[in-house]
Structures are given as C-alpha cells and as structure tokens.
C-alpha cells in the first residue's frame, strides 16, 4: 500500500479511530517530525490534544539494526529484539561508542526541545493515548516509548501507523492495547519508500503545527 503523503495516510487512519474514539478523552502523541503530519489529521478529526515525544535511535556500527533508543528524558532502552546474551556482547564490544552516542542523542534532542519541551505527562494521565508514527520498521523506538509511558496512568494505549514490518507488529501486540495499522510489510523498504511526497516540515514548523492543532479541528 502506497500513499500520496503522510497527511493522506493520517486521514485514512483517522476514519477507523473516529468511529471508536470520537467521544473519548484522547491524546495523540507523535513520535517524529514526519509522524506529526500523520498525527495532526487524527487529532483534528478526534478534536483532541496533540503532543510530540522525541526519541533517537542508536545504531549498531556496520549493521542495519539499532542498539535501542534514547528518550527525551535521557533514558535508554535496548532493542527488545536482542537476547540478553546479544545485549551483553554488543555492550562489551561497543561500550565507549554506545555511551558517546547516548550523550550525542540526548544533546541533540535538548537542542530541538529548547526550554519548553513538547510533551506534558499531566495531559496524558487518564486518557486514551494514541501513539502515532509515519512507519515502523524497528521496535527500538516503540520500546523506549513504552518505557517512557509506564509510570503514567492512562486508560488505553493505541499505536497507529500507516505501515509497519511484520517483526514490529509482533512486538506491538504485546506492548499496546490496540493497533491501527493500514499495511503490514513482510519486507519493509524504508519509511520514505511508501510516500510519493516526502517533504517533512522543519522542527519549528512542526512545533507550530502542534500549537495550532485546536484551530484545525473539523
């Protein structure tokens, strides 16, 4: 399944979500700048707040897999696809590299966040939380987000994404109360591959979208 844009994919996702959650107390949380383009369509249709949670993947050197990811609070979560033995092996082999990448990722997110931050956990409590991505081909982002959400009392956790790999969906079934996915790929080709238009707004434009979401309710 291919999409004209992330906005179109968000519109398609919102149809099923509105049918079930139009009158529920919801909060939409985007997981990247690209995901905001998907999430704003959902938040607009549901007439709910939208926030953004920054995470940063830490890649394994020379391999197309991720160690895990760092949240905007600086907490690191290993990729759940790794066994305990694999984690120990990677940590031993790349200890210095891993620590340096964690520091760089946290510094990068702090520069993006500035003084304010983009997510308010107080606005998530006791709500139906819809985590939105523009595509999931690796579980590391979801792993760190789930860890971030654990201390927060919420009603229900929904993960919405236009596309995801089979491996990630297996993980999502365990992590979330409900999945809203338009297409599951046995061979994921990369997020941009599934969109004709891959224009992503600047981070400043993304923050403006989040701040203006109430004006876009329909």
Q: Residue 32 belongs to what domain range?
A: 1-218
Give the C-alpha separation, 146 to 176, whole Å. 9
Contact 52, 119 (CB under 8 A): yes
* 213 has a pLDDT exceeding 70: no
pLDDT at 115: 42
Q: Tell me the chain's radius of gyration from C-alpha atoms.
A: 17
CATH of the domain at 71: 3.40.50.2020
Average pLDDT of the segment spanning 45-56 = 85
pLDDT band for 181, please (50, 70, 90 cuts): very high
pLDDT band for 154, please (50, 70, 90 cuts): very high
Average pLDDT of the segment spanning 97-110 = 73
Contact 160, 42 (CB under 8 A): yes
C-alpha count within 13 angstroms, C-beta hemisphere, residue 85:
0
Q: pTM to 2 decimals?
A: 0.77
Per the structure, how many domains does the chain have? 1
């Amino acid at each position: 399944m291919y999409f004209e844009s992330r906005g179109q994919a968000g519109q398609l996702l919102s149809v099923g979500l509105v049918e079930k959650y139009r009158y529920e107390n919801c909060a939409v949380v985007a997981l990247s700048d690209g995901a905001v383009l998907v999430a704003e369509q959902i938040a607009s249709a549901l007439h709910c707040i939208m926030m953004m949670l920054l995470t940063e993947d830490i890649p394994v050197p020379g391999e197309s897999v991720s160690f895990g990811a760092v949240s905007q609070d600086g907490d690191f979560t290993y990729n759940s696809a790794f066994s305990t033995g694999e984690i120990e092996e990677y940590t031993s082999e790349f200890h210095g590299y891993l620590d340096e990448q964690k520091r760089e990722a946290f510094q990068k997110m702090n520069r993006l966040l500035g003084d304010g931050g983009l997510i308010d956990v107080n606005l998530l409590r006791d709500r139906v939380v819809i985590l939105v991505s523009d595509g999931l081909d690796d579980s590391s982002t979801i792993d760190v987000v789930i860890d971030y959400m654990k201390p927060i009392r919420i009603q229900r956790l929904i993960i919405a994404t236009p596309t995801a790999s089979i491996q990630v969906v297996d993980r999502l079934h365990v992590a979330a109360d409900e999945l809203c996915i338009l297409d599951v790929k046995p061979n994921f080709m990369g997020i941009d591959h599934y969109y004709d238009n891959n224009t992503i707004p600047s981070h400043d434009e993304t923050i403006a979208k989040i701040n203006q979401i109430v004006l876009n309710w329909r």
